[in-house]
Amino acid sequence: METMTIAAPLTLPCGAVLPNRLAKAAMSEQLGDRANRPTERLDRLYERWGAGGCGLVITGNVIVDRRHVGEPRNVVIEDERDLPALRRWAAAGKRGGAALWAQVNHPGRQALRIAGSQPVAPSAIAAKIPGAVTPHALTGAEIEQVVARFARTAAIVKAAGFDGVQLHGAHGYLISQFLSPRANRRDDDWGGDAERRRRFVLEVVRATRAAVGPEFPVAIKLNSADFQRGGFSEEESAAVVVALAEAGIDLVEISGGTYEAPVMMGAEGDGARTGAHARERASTRASTRAREAYFLDYAERIRAQVPGLPLMVTGGFRSTAAMDAALAGGACDVIGVGRPLALHPDAAAELLDGRRTRVDAGDKRIGVRLLDSVVDLFWHTRQMHRIGRGREPWAGEHALHTLTAFVLMNGWGSLRRKRGG
């Protein structure tokens, strides 16, 4: 058998082909305008990434409802008003040969409270993050409307020329909230047990598939676990993956954590100290040390349950040796890379042709635990902004300069609001 490497193409269940196994994972760009429309800076950024070597490039959050956005400059697609700008964005990202997918999302209770709009969620339970407000519990009819919004946005994304969509079902956003027994306390058709909690994501997948057709890639980003006591567990996550495979999903990107327990950014959650949560936390740390990837062990455990479903693992990969080993071992089919590509946008091509054997993220810290994750995220966001302005990333920017720029741009109150992909 041929040894699998990052250079090998991948055929998805829908028939679409990715030219190689490297993916630029979603990162929140914050490059929409104040009316949440795409800008020329997004075009420049994605033209650079699209020519940077990755076979797949996934955008940051594209929001389905302008009343509920995760960040002030998220792009919102709820109708065709911005179709010409979306077409320019798609064309720019695809010009270098990459497949370009839009990450479609609804923040739910993690939305900014703007224009007097109250965040919505499965249940009226506020997130345990500073400044969170109690959300409005969606009615059954409102849930159906949200499902339709996901499908509508996906259809517009396809019309604009994007090559696929990724539904954001991780990190405590709305799909993740429906899956979590901590956030979803309903006792109707949309909650009450694990099967009913996963109804929302399956309805979103079915509606999206109906809107885009059988040959257009529909993927999802899903938590391996929430890493919180009483939260979405590894066992429930595995059952969701099986159901998603049966529903015709084309790719599952595995992540983990929420903004209450941001494991995806290197923090430890408050999950139970025994059972699946403890195993996942321990294996995550071991995997990070030994093989770089945060969630690779989970991918290995569910592979036997979904042998034909392509899996993508993002988080921690830095060397071609670790990437190729993960692919050759069969644990995953696609390697996701995020923050390193904000600093080194051409790194994928260099990894593929051997000019590089490793790429690092250039993590930035100021030594204040409560601020470090925000500073690091915004430091990488500023690198994306530089590329969007037609400039090169600047590894020399000091973390304190980043913090000052963030406060000047967003105000102190927004320190708690920074979101990733």
Enumerate the domain spans of the chain. Answer: 20-363
Q: What is the DSSP letter of 130?
A: T
Q: Are the C-beta atoms of 63 and 107 separated by less than 8 Å?
A: yes
Radius of gyration (Cα) for the chain, nearest Å? 20
Helix (H) or strand (E) holding 307: none
Q: What is the DSSP letter of 114?
A: -
CB atoms within 10 A of CB 371: 15
Q: Report how far apart the first and last C-alpha atoms of the chain are (Å, whole number).
A: 36
Tell me which fold the domain 20-363 belongs to.
TIM Barrel (3.20.20)
Cα-based distances in Å from 341 to 46, 198, 300, 345, 369: 11, 33, 26, 4, 24
Q: Can you give the pLDDT at residue 282?
A: 45
Q: Can you give the pLDDT at residue 255?
A: 84
β-pair partners for 57: 24, 100
Q: Can you give the pLDDT at residue 299?
A: 93
- Is 104 in a helix, a strand, or coil? strand
Pure H helices in 218-274: 234-247
In tens, the pLDDT along 346-368 reads 999 999 999 999 999 887 888 87
Place of tokens 């920017």: 397
Q: Can you give the pLDDT at residue 3?
A: 72
Q: What is the DSSP letter of 360?
A: -
Angstrom distance (rounded) from CA 302 to CA 238: 6
Cα-based distances in Å from 34 to 30, 41, 69, 71, 75: 10, 13, 12, 11, 9
Q: Are the C-beta atoms of 55 and 23 separated by less than 8 Å?
A: yes
- Tens of pLDDT along the chain (421 residues) come to 457 899 999 999 999 999 999 999 999 999 999 999 999 999 999 999 999 999 999 999 999 999 999 988 999 999 999 999 999 999 999 999 999 999 999 999 999 876 557 999 999 999 887 778 899 999 999 999 999 999 999 999 999 999 999 999 998 999 999 999 999 999 999 999 999 999 999 999 999 999 999 999 999 999 887 665 667 889 999 999 999 999 999 999 998 755 544 444 444 444 433 344 444 444 444 444 444 777 899 999 999 999 999 999 998 899 999 999 999 999 999 999 999 999 999 999 999 999 999 999 887 888 877 777 778 888 999 999 999 999 999 999 888 888 787 777 665 555 554 445 6
Give me 313's structure tokens. 């693992």
